Amino acid sequence: MRKTILFSLTALFVAGVVQFGSITGLNSSFAAAPKIVKFATVAPQGSTWANVLNDVDKEIGEKSNGRIRLKVYAGGVSGDDKDVIRKMRIGQIHSSSFTTSGLGEILSEARIFDLPFIFTGYEELDFVRDKFYGEFEKRFEKKGYVLLGMTEVGNVYFFTNSPINTISDLQSVRMWMWEGDRLANTLFNTINIAPIPLSIVSVMSSLQSGLIDGVYASPLGSVALQWYAKAKYMLDMPITNAVAAILIKKKNFDKLPPDLQAILKKSFREQSQRLTQLIRKDNEEAMKIIKSSGIKITTLNEADTTKFKDAGVKTCELLVDKLYSKEFLNNFMSELNAYRAGK
């Protein structure tokens, strides 16, 4: 009798669980745990980048009925781009947002987006980013990554502790360079700047110690990382407009069911486009903060402005067969020039 009662109670409990599962979307095996995408970013909590990632997490959770979620490691706790790439290769991190310096470590052609003095405005950048998106999807996939979205960092400026009115002034600055950045190193060498290579996580302490007294960053980046607080001057001449992209390791992406792959790609692509507009607004607000902080804005004289832009052209040429092929550069510039002619 006891066995009969126990069996009946067990059967009722199991039936109740199955019924509950059918209501809540769980199955009779108690609902599989959600697929977790471990995502790293240097963006601090509370920043626009981090907020949009939270929106992505919420969106993919809702659209998948909780079957996939993001676990975001913000604020650079996973290290800089190189550290994250290494962690992605061994599986500790699945996905991340990269600036083109990091993207270039995976696919050197990605650096073509932040060649110096190429773009004259947002419209041109938006055009080439959309035009070549499919091409870069294919190229990243060959490297073992899936491109989820492209956005931008913003116009990049020099922040220094001494006024810059000539290239000679710039040459006397102890200028930081992102460690391993071949594009920046080529540009600096072209104008005879001897940079000090450091990882991005070492910049603030190096500014505080006096190891460096010059950095380059977008207005938003300089405010978010508090670099602007250690500078007295900003050169009012954008070097480039740096792009950013979101990648996931292909082996992790391929483990997801097709419907979850589609949800992840759609959400990141749409949110990346939204993020671009938000970042542009944030950069405008950051520039107001910089100007109100007491930082003095300097300009190069006309002759040195021309020399600097000529150095940019030379940099593009010197990087052929190092970052990209001549054919790829020509195709890129041909599409950009055709767009300009058609406006």
Q: Is 77 exposed, middle or buried (0-12, 13-18, 19+ CB in 10 A)?
A: exposed
| pLDDT for the residue 287 | 97
d(CA 214, CA 41): 24
pLDDT at 6 over 90: no
Least Cα distance to 338 among 135, 128, 130 occurs for 128
Chain mean position to CA 51: 14
CB distance 68 to 264 below 8 Å = yes
What would the DSSP string read from start to end of 299-341?
---HHHHHHHHHHHHHHHHHTBTTTB-HHHHHHHHHHHHHHHH
Angle at 277 between CA 77 and CA 67, to 5 degrees: 55
At residue 5 the predicted structure's pLDDT band, cuts being 50, 70 and 90, is: very low
Largest CA distance in the chain: 101
Region 314-318: mean pLDDT is 96
Domains observed in the chain: 32-342 (3.40.190.170)
pLDDT at 2 over 50: no
d(CA 53, CA 246): 11
Query: Could you read off the pLDDT of 135-181 as tens digits, one per residue?
Result: 999 999 999 999 999 999 999 999 999 999 999 999 999 999 998 89
| pLDDT for the residue 92 | 96
d(CA 41, CA 20): 38
Q: What's the mean pLDDT when you consider all of the chain?
A: 89
At residue 29 the predicted structure's pLDDT band, cuts being 50, 70 and 90, is: very low
Amino acid at site 3: K
In the beta sheet, which residues pair with residue 297? 234
d(CA 251, CA 249): 6
Least Cα distance to 153 among 195, 204, 102 occurs for 102
| pLDDT for the residue 180 | 87
| pLDDT for the residue 79 | 87
Strand segments (E) across 58-106:
68-73, 95-99
Chain mean position to CA 343: 29
In the beta sheet, which residues pair with residue 35? 68
At residue 31 the predicted structure's pLDDT band, cuts being 50, 70 and 90, is: low
pTM of the model: 0.84
Angle at 299 between CA 115 and CA 128, to 5 degrees: 25
Question: What's the residue count for the chain?
Answer: 343
pLDDT over 90 for what percent of the chain? 82
Region 252-272: mean pLDDT is 97
Least Cα distance to 167 among 319, 317, 302 occurs for 302
Query: Could you read off the pLDDT of 287-304 as tens digits, one per residue?
Result: 999 999 999 999 999 999
Region 26-46: mean pLDDT is 76
| pLDDT for the residue 334 | 97
Lowest mean pLDDT among 14-23, 128-137, 180-189, 317-326: 14-23
pLDDT over 70 for what percent of the chain? 91
| pLDDT for the residue 14 | 33
pLDDT at 1 over 70: no
Q: Is 93 exposed, middle or buried (0-12, 13-18, 19+ CB in 10 A)?
A: buried
pLDDT at 18 over 70: no
Query: Could you read off the pLDDT of 225-244 as tens digits, one per residue?
Result: 899 999 999 999 999 999 99
Query: Could you read off the pLDDT of 51-101 as tens digits, one per residue?
Result: 999 999 999 999 999 999 999 999 889 988 889 999 999 999 999 999 888
pLDDT at 13 over 60: no
CB distance 268 to 179 below 8 Å = no
